[in-house]
Structures are given as C-alpha cells and as structure tokens.
Amino acid sequence: MDFSGLVGSLNRDFPCEGVEFVEWNGGLPAAKLSNPLCEALVSIHGGHVSEYAPKGSKPLLWLSGKSHFEEGKPIRGGIPVCWPWFGSAAQPAHGFARLRLWRVKSAVRNADGSNTLTLSLSEDASTLALWPHKFNLELKVCAGASLKVELKASNTGDVPFKLTGALHSYFSASDISNVEVKGLDGAQYIDTLNGSSHAQRGSVRFSAETDRLYQDTVSPCVIEDSGWGRRIVVGKEGSRSTVVWNPWVEKSRRMPDFGDEEYHSMLCIEAANAGTDVVSLNPGASHVLATSISEAP
Ligand code: BG6
C-alpha cells in the first residue's frame, strides 16, 4: 500500500515541534521524534517504538537488519506490542496488535522538551474474527531523557474478557557475553524451553538459548553491559511478570527475520502480563501496562 497520502495528512493534522511523519523502511508510515533530549521513531504500523536514543548516546533499542517492514508482519526489534495474548499458543503469535495499522490521536511537545505521541487501536471485522471482543487500546509514547511507553487497554464491550500481553522490548548490547541483568535475584521463573521451574540466583547471564518467564516480578531490571560501560534501567507498571529472551544460535537460524549472528547484539526484557499474570477486564474497565527505559548515569 502507498502511505504517502496518509503521511501527508498526518503532517497537516498533527503539526508539532519535534514530530515529523515520514515513510520509513519501504514506505511504512512512522513518526520521527527529534527534540533536544532524544531521537526516536514510532511506526504507526504495529504501534511500535522502533528506535530510541537519548541525545549523545548510542541507541538503547535494537532493531534487526533482517526485519520485515511490511503490512501484516511484525517488526523484529524495538518494542512490539504483544496483545491481546502473549505467546504462540493462539495465532497470530503474540496477538494481532503488532500487525495492525494504528491511528494517530495526538502529538505534543512537552515543557521539558520531550514529545508525546498517542496512538490508538480498536476492534474491526478482522480483529473480531480472531478475538470476539470490543476494545480500545491507547499507546502513549513519551520520548525525552528517558522513554516511557504506556499501553492502556479498555473493555468497550458488554462482556468481561481476559487478556495477556507484553511490551516486548529489544535492547542493543555490545556483545551478549558482556551483559548481565540485575533485579531478578530470588525470583521464581519458568524455563519456557522445557517448562521447568527454578529460582534465580544472582544476576542473569547468557551462554545458551534463554527464554524465561519470571513470575511475581514488579521491580525494575538493570542491564549492565561491561563492553560499553553502560547501564539501562527498565522499569514497569501494571505487570507482575518479566520475560527474558535471547534466541542464541539455532533459533536465530530458524527465524527468517533475524540474522544468524544477531543474537550477539541483543536481548529482550519484556514488561509482561503472562503466565499466571492474566488481566481480567469488566465492561468499562481499563488496564495500564507501562515500561520506562533510561540510561543510568
Ligand atoms: C518471546 C518469547 O517473548 O518472544 C519467545 O518468550 C519468542 O518464545 C519471542 O520466540 C519472539 O517471538 P516472535 O513471535 O516475535 O518470533
């Protein structure tokens, strides 16, 4: 589809200092946020924060060089919105929100120099065919000295529903062997690779395929990268589960939209509602899942 008309009308309808709507990577519509505090890019396809770098810093988010940038396909990297379900037990994997074209609701320049972009998504015939519920999703992205992403899900129908999901953040790393993740010490986790349960001891390090669901975790995680001497703090709200993922060698080779060697330069820390952390929404009720990402001094 040609999005040049949409991009033109978004620039007319949402004029805002620091926000420019562009055609990005093969033509997908996106908002480029550029202000004194950071550079960021939000794809309207998927409601997806694709790039974020505080001013003067390396990008904090990772984006695959092999990603699809096509309607109907998820973007590999950045922050996919997994909703209204997490995982691949139902199809499409991780829900349909990351596959849809969202609507722009507003673009704002804040007093501190940051920008806030708000997108929304609600049911249509294609979502009702996959999941028979009326909903409204609002994704608020505030990009400044830190990145805050807030996903508000509302039940706009007249029957209760249950949902799972995640803000599936991909972080860039100097090399995965230099990375340790702090903040999960003592937490119970399910090793998704074989279903076994464990208790985390100390920080998480990576030396093989890692796919873990940490339960009852509400505190921030800190990614320490000794190669770049960098610490990224990943906070969250509305989430009691955290997913930690690196596909390592074999799974990287199996994924068409992931380079064979790219597992060296990324890891995922996901603010999730997954496993036993299921959200129930009565008609008229809302749930906010949020994550904040910043480089620690
Ligand atoms: C993670 C899951 O959240 O997402 C992994 O724990 C999965 O099992 C990964 O492989 C990527 O999923 P997808 O659907 O984007 O390939």
Cβ 74 under 6 angstroms from ligand 1: yes
Per-residue DSSP letter, 63 = B
How far apart (Å, rounded) are the C-alpha atoms in residues 31 and 3? 13
Segment 235-248 mean pLDDT: 98
Segment 105-121 mean pLDDT: 98
- 203 phi, psi to nearest 5 deg: -85, 165
Q: Of the listed 51, 138, 150, 270, which one is catalytic? A: 270
**pLDDT band, very low/low/confident/very high, at 26 (cuts 50, 70, 90):** confident
CA angle at 225 for the pair 222 and 227, rounded to the nearest 5°: 170
Segment 268-279 mean pLDDT: 98
**pLDDT band, very low/low/confident/very high, at 11 (cuts 50, 70, 90):** very high
Cβ atoms of residues 118 and 140 within 8 Å: yes
270 is catalytic: yes
Pocket test for ligand 1, best of 66, 73, 168, 257 (most atoms within 8 A of CB): 168
Pocket test for ligand 1, best of 98, 99, 211 (most atoms within 8 A of CB): 211
